[in-house]
Amino acid sequence: MPNWSAIEASFLRQPYPQQLGELAASLARLKSWSQKKARREIVPVLLEENLLYVRLIQEQNYIAQLSQIQQLLVEWQRDWLSLCDHATEIVGAWSECVLDMSGLVVAAESMTA
């Protein structure tokens, strides 16, 4: 079982944009793993991780879109076996949305220009 206290402490040490980037990456991992047969072991952990990240971000800065993500994750956590292709598409879209909110992609592109 993950050490949630250590994960939380590490997450909170990151700057806000990187926290959003971490959430986006975790959502992308959730999408990927929910499409695999081995998902029974990892998907519940990823759901918990995403809920933790959303909660921590919301405590610092309320973002309405994250409330929508949180509601979906809670529903899926209740019955995570119901994750299907449609659900993974939603997770993928939210991952991209959160990454856009982080500004990390724009910052990385301006550094290479």
pLDDT for 41 equals 79
Q: How would residue 97 be classed by pLDDT, with cut points 50, 70 and 90?
A: confident
Asked if 24 contacts 98 with a C-beta cutoff of 8 angstroms, the reply is yes
Who wins on pLDDT, 88 or 65?
A: 65
pLDDT tens digits, one per residue of 24-61 = 999 999 988 887 766 677 888 999 999 999 999 999 98
Q: How would residue 90 be classed by pLDDT, with cut points 50, 70 and 90?
A: confident
Asked if 99 contacts 77 with a C-beta cutoff of 8 angstroms, the reply is no
Q: How would residue 109 be classed by pLDDT, with cut points 50, 70 and 90?
A: low
Who wins on pLDDT, 103 or 59?
A: 59
Chain centroid offset of residue 112 CA: 26
- Please tell me the pTM assigned to this model: 0.78
Mean per-residue pLDDT over the chain, rounded: 85
Residue 76 has pLDDT above 60, yes or no: yes
pLDDT for 23 equals 96
Distance CA(72)–CA(53), nearest Å, equals 14
Q: Where are the domains of the chain?
A: 16-112
